[in-house]
C-alpha cells in the first residue's frame, strides 16, 4: 500500500487513527516504514524497533487493539495485514509486540473479549497473554531474559 492510500481518521472518541483506503488481503504489506525517521526520545507516538524508536505519518496514528488487524514487523519495517481488512476499517496493532515499557500507559478501549485492560508494555503482561501475538525479536529476547532472571 502506498503512503497516500492510508486514510486518516479524525475525531475518534480516543483521538486520531488511520484506515485502509482499499481492501487488503491477509499477509499483504499495508505500508512500508522505511521512510519513518528515528526519534531522539521515545514518546506516545513512536514505535520501538529494537532499542531505537521511529516516528512518522505512517506510524503516528496506528492505534492499539487487543484484537489487532495488523502486525508491525520491526525487522522488515513493514505493517502487515493479519487478516482481510475492508476499505475504511481502522488499522490497529497490539502495542506490546513492539513496546517493552511504554512512555504513556493507558486504559484500553478496544472492547475485545481478550482486552488486557491497561496497556503499559510487554514487561507487565503474563507470558500466556503475550504468546497469543507475534512478538518482534527485541520483545521476545527481553521476555526470555526477564524470565531467566526471575528464576
Nearest C-alpha neighbor of 99 from the set 133, 76, 128, 69? 133
- Per residue in 45-97, pLDDT (tens digit) is 999 999 999 998 877 889 999 999 999 999 999 999 999 999 999 999 999 99
User: Which residues on neighbouring strands pair with residue 80, listed in sequence order?
Assistant: 29, 71
Question: CA distances (Å), 97 to each of 3, 9, 36, 116, 129, in order?
Answer: 23, 23, 18, 13, 11
Record the pTM.
0.91
Give the model's pLDDT for residue 89. 95
130 alpha carbon, distance to own chain's centre? 13
**pLDDT of 34 above 80:** yes
Q: Domain extents for the chain?
A: 3-149
Is the domain covering 3-149 a CATH 2.170.270.10 domain? yes
Nearest C-alpha neighbor of 32 from the set 80, 83, 88? 80
- 3-class DSSP assignment, residue 129: helix
Give the model's pLDDT for residue 5. 63
Residue tagged 493507558 (cell numbers):
106
- Per residue in 88-101, pLDDT (tens digit) is 999 999 999 999 99
Report yes or no: 7 and 20 within 8 Å, Cβ to Cβ: yes
**pLDDT of 119 above 50:** yes
**pLDDT of 14 above 80:** no
Residue 82: count of CB within 10 angstroms of its CB: 19
Residue 136: band (very low, low, confident or very high) from pLDDT cuts 50, 70, 90:
very high
Hey, what's the cell of 34? 522505511
Report yes or no: 136 and 75 within 8 Å, Cβ to Cβ: yes
Amino acid at each position: 500500500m502506498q503512503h497516500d492510500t492510508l486514510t486518516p481518521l479524525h475525531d475518534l472518541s480516543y483521538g486520531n487513527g488511520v484506515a485502509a483506503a482499499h481492501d487488503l488481503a491477509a499477509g499483504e504489506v499495508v505500508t512500508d516504514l522505511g521512510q519513518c525517521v528515528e526519534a531522539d526520545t521515545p514518546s506516545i507516538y513512536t514505535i520501538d524497533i529494537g532499542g531505537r524508536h521511529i516516528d512518522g505519518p505512517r506510524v503516528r496514528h496506528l492505534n492499539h487493539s487487543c484484537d489487532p488487524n495488523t502486525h508491525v514487523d520491526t525487522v522488515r519495517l513493514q505493517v502487515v495485514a493479519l487478516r482481510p481488512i475492508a476499505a475504511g476499517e481502522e488499522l490497529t496493532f497490539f502495542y506490546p509486540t513492539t513496546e517493552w515499557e511504554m512512555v504513556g500507559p493507558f486504559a484500553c478501549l478496544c472492547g475485545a473479549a481478550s482486552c488486557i485492560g491497561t496497556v503499559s508494555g510487554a514487561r507487565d503482561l503474563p507470558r500466556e497473554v503475550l504468546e497469543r501475538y507475534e512478538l518482534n525479536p527485541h520483545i521476545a529476547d527481553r521476555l526470555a531474559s526477564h524470565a531467566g532472571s526471575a528464576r
